Structure 1
Amino acid sequence: MRASADSVRAQILAILDAWGMPGDLAAETAEVMLDTDLAGVDSHGIGMLASYEGMRHVGQVKLDARPRIERDSGAVALVDGGAGLGHPAAAFAMRLAIQRAKQHGIGAVAVRNSHHFGAAGWYVKLAAKSGCIGLVTSGTRTMAMVPTHGAVPVLGTNPIAFAAPGQRQPPVVLDMATTTAAANKVRAKALRNKPIPAGWVMDGAGNPVTDGAAAVAQVFEKPEGGLSPVGGTPDMASHKGYGLALMAHILGATLSGASFSPIRVRTQRPEDPDDIGHFMLAIDPTAFRPAGDFEQDLDQAVDVLRATPPADPAQPVLVPGDPERAEHADRSAHGIPIPAGLEAQIRAIAERANVPFLLKTAPASANA
């Protein structure tokens, strides 16, 4: 089915409400998850409810937790996520970073004691909408990345996101995992019965794993093998991707005092929070240049990129953020694809939460 955006939002809200999440926190979380699904990042939207349900079941996540400022140093602050879902904590932190950037030219906010926060791109787009340059990195829960020349996973997918606002042009938006693909993208392809591209997942001997079910088991269950760093397998130019992942962890977790998964799991009980960390940076261009000058120059740079002669006339040159904007427009009009496996998951979660199944097919007129 292709579910309407309104019904996806309603379904997420109904489940989060039944789980006891306060209305404002649930609305913030649903907004991030829905926007992620609309942008085509199926790994980080409504499909994450199954993971969140499992965390809630063992008492690992506190859905009523409110983020709070723990340390405040003007342009710099530390936020305690309260062991809640990461979306409210990360949104709070980025808004705080934007506020400080407007006051000081730059705002840097680190978060600790958080959980999965969805797609990092949502938070940098928030900065761009406010006229700021945004940068986000995060630690992760899962040990999925095999380091260069390694045989077992140590780092996570540790995302990096960046956005810069234009004037005529839409913002430049980069949102990337530091693995060849995010772990949940492997799960999303498996749910859709699609093969996993060679190079995404490898076994303990470095061989590619392309079957969906086998790849999910390799990433989430087996102690060896896993995801390759961005750039390819350890036999390829992957060391820079591995370095990017480490940088993202240092800013996203070490800076705030959040956990490093290989150390945390030695003593972690099922009910213990993951203590994931995030890092939010906002820069106000007007601290460096007269208002509007930065945006005009960025527009000119984007104009040059878009005017580059394409290798294939049917495929215009892209700027980071273009594919997600195109997918957002298409899914807003025609609905969000919900594969049968995910639909069954959501039905079961809704039933266990004692709420109705609310996903509805987008109107026929939208699908015309």
Structure 2
Amino acid sequence: MKAKPGQQASIRELALELGVSTATVSRALNNHPSVSPDTRARVLELADQAGYMPRVGQRFRNVVGLAYPSNPVMPEFGSFESAMLGGVMKGLDADRYDLALIDIHRDKHRDESYTQFFRRKGVRGVIIRPVSPEPTIAETIAEEGFPCVMVADRSDHPNLGFVCSDSGRDSYRAVDHLIHLGHKRIALVCHAVLDSDHRDRIEGYRRALQDHGIETSPETELFLPASMEGGAEAIDRLLSLEDPPTALFITNPVPTVGALHRCLELGIRVPDDLSIMGFDDSNARSRTYPRYSAVCQNAEQFGYDAARWLTRRLEGTETGVLRVHRPTTLQFNRSTGPVPAKAIRLASNKSDIVRVEFPKRPRK
């Protein structure tokens, strides 16, 4: 039984083909425990071949999934997810599609393909948001031929389309700017999950230092959770070094805010005592004191581009594989300034009470 162009198979047709009841087919499609593994496998295989999709009433569902291969949205993702989601909803609205949030890790059964899984979920296509170092699940989905597009990461797989940022160039320019302000000891604070975009940011940071003859050092490269606590920890660890940095390049918005907050707690003046160059997905930089300088990407545009292409693909007006590299911008605000005469250094006594060793400041 093969899918007919422009038509969708029904549960009744699947039941007739397999010689079982419609109730058995329905239970198999919904992974009911009363169905034997052999029967479930037969039903899923035929449903896959026939292009079965669930119905709501007598209408097929125009639903696209936003699929997370592993853990879904976490607090440390900051404003990226909400901004991207806003763009997805705008992109789906043009063709009157709805959105379903899907947790692949939690809901997919081992004995079903990704195509079978998404059809059981009632979605016609998926926007994949990987939050792991390698987009292997997204590549497998693309290999199966299920309509999909990946957002905020990229892949060389010939069947996998994506929308991502090109942040390496502006990461280089951000560090180059700090060097031209006189900073030689510049630290990197990066998310511990190294997807392609974060690898670009690391490469831009290192290349800028190397082009100016400044050696990179493992002690000034921290890979931490992209959280408020991660930003605060970066301040504590980096400024406790014997030779602390005078500037930081932080590759995510939330730890940038966390670092600025920790500086306020310790009485460290940004940028007089320490310069901080951050990253922003929306408008976090305008909500801090001081407003921080940042490499900026438009997460809302990522979501919009992905959703518009996917709905057009499902409507038959778009073909091929989407490959979009969105440029970032570099915005200078009030968190970066000339190198101080002496670096700020943290120290702790035996009671673990942190104190700040400030250089002597001339009285006015």
TM class, shorter-length? under 0.3
Instruction: Name whichever structure is richer in strand by fraction.
Output: 2
Greater Rg over alpha carbons, structure: 2
Q: How high is the TM-score relative to the length of structure 2? A: 0.25
TM-score normalised by L of structure 1: 0.25
Higher RCO (CA < 8 A, seq sep 6+): 1
